[in-house]
Amino acid sequence: MRDLQLGYLGFSSTELSQTAAFFSEVLGVELLEGGHEGARLRLDDRVWRFSVEDGQANDVSYVGFDVPDLETLRQLGERLESLGFAVAEGSETLVEDRGVTRLLVVTDPDGLRVELAYGARSSAGRPYVSPIGARFVTGRLGAGHVVLSTRDLAGCLRFYREGLGFRVTDFADIPADTGEVRQVTFLRCNPRHHSLALVPADLPRRLRHIMVELASVDDVGRLYDRALAAGAVVRGIGRHTNDGMLSFYANAPGDIEIEVGCEGRLIDDSEWTISRYAGRPSSWGHQVVRGREIQIEKRKASS
Ligand SMILES: [Fe+2]
Residues 104 and 162 in one domain: no
Distance CA 257, CA 251 (A): 4
Q: Are residues 145 and 236 in the same domain?
A: yes
89 CA to centre of ligand 1 in angstroms:
31
Q: What proportion of the chain, given as a percentage, has pLDDT over 70? A: 94
Domain contains 133: no
The beta-strand segments (E) located in the chain are 5-13, 30-32, 39-42, 50-54, 60-67, 88-89, 102-107, 113-118, 145-150, 167-175, 181-188, 196-200, 207-213, 233-240, 246-252, 256-262, 275-278, 282-285
At residue 301, does pLDDT exceed 60? no
pLDDT tens profile 191-242: 999 999 999 998 789 999 999 999 999 999 999 999 999 999 999 999 999 9
Asked if residue 188 and residue 83 are part of one domain, the reply reads no
For 119-143, write each residue's pLDDT tens digit: 998 876 678 999 999 999 999 999 9
Residue 37 confidence (pLDDT) above 90: no
Overall number of domains in the chain: 2
The whole-number pLDDT of residue 122 equals 82
260 Cα–ligand 1 center, Å? 8
Q: Is residue 128 part of a domain?
A: no
Query: Pick from 68, 85, 118: which residue ends a domain?
Result: 118
Distance, CA of 223 to CA of 258 (rounded, Å): 12
What is the amino acid identity at position 300? K
Is 58 a domain residue?
A: yes
> What per-residue confidence (pLDDT) applies to 175?
85
In this structure, which residues have their CB less than 5 angstroms from ion ligand 1? 211, 259
What is the overall mean pLDDT for the chain? 93
Residue 183 lies in a domain: yes
pLDDT bracket for residue 31 (50, 70, 90): very high
> 233: which residues sit within 8 A by CB, 6+ positions away?
224, 227, 248, 249, 250, 289
83 C-alpha to center of ligand 1: Å?
29
Question: pLDDT digits over 137-186, tens only?
Answer: 999 999 999 999 999 999 999 999 999 999 999 999 988 777 789 899 99
Cα-to-centroid distance, 146 and ligand 1 (Å): 7
> Has residue 224 been placed in a domain?
yes
Compute the distance from residue 244 Cα to the ligand 1 centre, in Å: 11
DSSP 31-88: EEPSSSSSEEEESSSBS-SEEEEE-SS-SEEEEEEEESSHHHHHHHHHHHHHTT---E
Over residues 48-74, the pLDDT tens digits come to 999 999 999 999 999 999 999 999 999
Can you tell me the mean pLDDT for 90-97?
A: 96
Report the separation in Å between the CA atom of 208 and the middle of ligand 1, taken as the mean of its atom positions: 9
Distance 129 CA to ligand 1 centre (A): 25
Whether residue 62 is found in the same domain as residue 103: yes
Residue 35 pLDDT > 80:
no
Strand, coil or helix: what is 261?
A: strand
How far is ligand 1, taken at its centre, from the CA of residue 235, in Å? Answer: 12
Looking at the structure, tell me whether residues 144 and 87 fall in a common domain. Answer: no
Work out whether strand 256-262 and strand 246-252 pair parallel, antiparallel, or are unpaired: antiparallel
Residue 25 shares a structural domain with residue 108: yes
Are residues 225 and 152 part of one domain? yes
Same domain, 92 and 217: no
Residues ≥6 apart with Cβ < 8 Å to 279: 173, 174, 175
Distance (angstroms) between ligand 1 centre and the Cα of 65 equals 18
Distance 241 CA to ligand 1 centre (A): 11
Q: Do 246 and 282 lie in a common domain?
A: yes
232: in domain: yes
Give the residue with greater pLDDT, 291 vs 36.
36
Q: Write out the residue range of the structural domain in which residue 167 sits.
A: 139-302
For the four alpha carbons of 158, 87, 82 and 145, in that order, the dihedral sign comes to negative
How many Å apart are CA 233 and CA 210, to the nearest integer?
14
Q: Is the pLDDT of residue 293 over 90?
A: no
* Distance of CA 211 from the midpoint of ligand 1 (Å): 5
Final residue before a domain boundary, out of 86, 118, 150: 118
| CATH number for position 17 | 3.10.180.10
Cα 262 to averaged position of ligand 1 atoms, centre (Å): 11
184 & 112 share domain:
no
- Residue 157 shares a structural domain with residue 104: no
- Give the strand pairing for 207-213 and 233-240: unpaired
- pTM score over 0.85: yes
- Specify if 28 maps to a domain: yes
In a domain, 186, yes or no: yes
Task: State the distance from the centre of ligand 1 to the C-alpha of 230, rounded, in angstroms.
Answer: 21
Q: What is the Å distance from ligand 1's center to 21 Cα?
A: 22
Same domain, residue pair 271 and 149: yes
Using the mean position of ligand 1's atoms as its centre, give its distance from the Cα of residue 288 in Å: 15
Mean pLDDT value across residues 269-289: 93
